[in-house]
Structure 1
C-alpha cells in the first residue's frame, strides 16, 4: 500500500467523493451533494482512500445540524481489500475521537442477491477489522397504494385524547413493534422513541390512534404525515391480535390525508411484525446492518 493516501476531504474538493462510481445505484439514499447542502455531511467528516490518485474507498459520517449525539457512518464504499478499508476507518476514528456507529445500508433481501453480497462483503469485513461489532438489522418497508385488508369489526379506533393518554399507554408497552426513525431521534434529539415518543413526534396529538376492544385500549399508533415520507413512527400493542387492523387503520388515515407512500421501520428479527406489514401491503425497501463500537 505504498501508493496509498488516506485523508479527509478539504473544502472545495467535495466532488472527489462522487468520482467513485456508486456500487449500489438501486439503493434509495441521500445523495452526497444533497447531504452537504443540508449540512449533515461535511468535508472534514468525509474520508477517502486514494491509490495512484484514484478513490478506492470513501466514508462519510453524518450529523444533522443541531444534533446532540455523535456522527455516524452513513456511506462507506470500498473497491479494494478489507484491510485498506479498515485502515481508512481507523484513521477517521482517531480524528473523530473514537469509533462511531455504522449503518451498512443495502437493498432489501440482500442475502439472496449475489450482486449485493459481492459489493457489501468488503466494507462489512473492513468494519469488523476496525473493531466494529454487528448488533442487529433494521428493515425499512414501504406501502405504495396496495389495497388494505378489511376490518373485522372486532376493534374500534379513535384519536388519542391527549398527551397524558399517549404517555400512559406507551409506559405499558414493553417492546414497540414499529419505531421509524429511532436512530435519528436518538442521535439528533437524544430521544428514545420507544419510551418517550412525544419528545420527538411533536405533531398534533390527533395523529395518534388508539385501538379499543370492549372499550379497553389494546394498542396505539403514532403517524407523521409531514415528515420526509409519511410514516408510521410508533406502533405499540397491548394485545398482539390487533396488530394487522391497527396497521391498516394507520395507513388508511395517512392515505385519506393524501399520502401515496407510507414507510415503517422494523427490526428484522421481529418475524411476526414483518409478516403483518407484508399482509398489509408493505414491501421491503432496504436493510441496514447496525455496527457499533465493541465496547458499547
Structure 2
C-alpha cells in the first residue's frame, strides 16, 4: 500500500473504472491532484483498491476524498475486499492527515437509480461501509442536474429586472440574507459553527471568488423599483459551465421568483454556446429540485457526501 511514485503510474491507477478517470491526467497537470495524494493497494502487480484526493489548482492540502475503489468485477470476490480498502484508507489518512485531524469529506458520483439495481447498489454500499468503518457517516445525498442545448429557456417574464452585483460586498450581504431558512445541508452545517455572514464569506472566498469565469455573468434579480429579491451565479468550475449558486431572499420566497432566476442564469450560459450546464441540489431540497425540473434540467447522476464531523 503506497502512493503513486509519479505521473508515469497513472495507467496503473486507472485500472479500476470510475467516471473521473478521464479527468485525472488534466487534474495532475493543473495541480488539482498530486501523485502523493493518489494511493494504491497492490497484490503483486494487480491493483485491488485505490484512493485519491482532490483540491483546487495549487491547493496546499486536499479538500475532498473523491475516489475510493475496490475490485468489483472479479469472478469470486474475496471476503477481505472491504478489509483491504479499509486498511488502504487508514494508511493513507495516517500519512496525509495525521492523528486527531479531521479528514476531508468524501464525495462519490453514483447513478440516479443506484438503489434499484443490485450491482450499482453493492458498489455504492461497499464503499460507504468502508468509510463507516473509519468513522465517517452519510452527510447528504445530492442530485446532479444537467441542461442540454436545444432545451427551451423561458424568456424574461417582466416581473424581475437583472443586473450584475455592484461589488463583492453586496453579493456577500445578499448571501448572508439567503442563509436564513436555507434548505442546503452544507449551509445548515456551517450555521452550527459560525454566523450567517461568516458562512457566506467563507463560501464566497473559498469557492465563488476562485472561479476564473467572468463575474459579469452573475445576476442580482430586482423588482421594478430596484429591491433585490435574489441572485444567480452562472460560472465555469474548470470542468463544466455551472449554476454555482442560486437563491431567493427570505422575504420574497413563495412567489415563483426562482423560475425567473434560474431561466436568467441558464440564458447567460446558453448564450456562450456551451455544450451543457451542470447544477446540483440536495435530494431533500424539493422546491429547488422542482425548479430545475421545470427549467428542463435532467437528473443524470447523484452524489453521495460523507463526513467525519
Query: What residue in structure 1 maps to residue 86 of structure 2?
Result: 86
| Counterparts of 1:169 and 1:274, CA distance in 2 | 22
Corresponding residue for 2:9? 13
Aligned equivalents of 2:209, 2:24: Cα separation in 1: 29
Query: Equivalent of 2:172, from 133, 149, 167?
Result: 167
Normalization by structure 2: what TM-score? 0.77
Aligned mates of 2:262, 2:108 — CA distance in 1: 27
The root-mean-square deviation of aligned C-alpha atoms, in Å, is 2.9
Q: Could you say which residue in structure 2 is the equivalent of 1:112?
A: 116
Q: How much has 1:197 moved relative to structure 2?
A: 6.5
Which among 25, 30, 38 is matched to residue 38 of structure 1?
30
**More strand as a share of residues:** 1
Correspondences of 1:234-245 after superposition (within 5 Å) = 234-238=245-249, 239-240=252-253, 241-245=256-260
Distance 1:37 1:259 in 2: 24
Give the 5 Å matches for 1:27-106. Answer: 27=19, 30-79=22-71, 81-98=81-98, 99-106=103-110
Matched length: 275
Shift of 1:234: 1.6
- Is 2:202 the counterpart of 1:192? yes
Higher helix share: 2
Return 90-99 or 159-168, whichever deviates more.
159-168
Asked if structure 2 preserves the Cα contact closer than 8 Å seen for 1:61 and 1:73, the reply is: yes
Aligned with 1:135 (options 126, 139, 159): 139
User: Which residue matches 1:153?
Assistant: 158
CA spacing shift, 1:138–1:292, aligned 2, 3 Å: same
2:198 match: none
Gaps of 5+ in 2: 72-76, 186-200
Partner of residue 271 from structure 1, selected from 283, 286, 309: 286
Residue among 249, 253, 256 paired with 2:264: 249
Matched with 2:221 is 211
* Matching residue within 198, 212, 223 for 2:234: 223
Distance 1:197 1:221, change over 3 A: farther
Q: CA contact under 8 A between 2:145 and 2:298: conserved in structure 1?
A: yes
Offset of residue 178 of structure 1 = 8.2
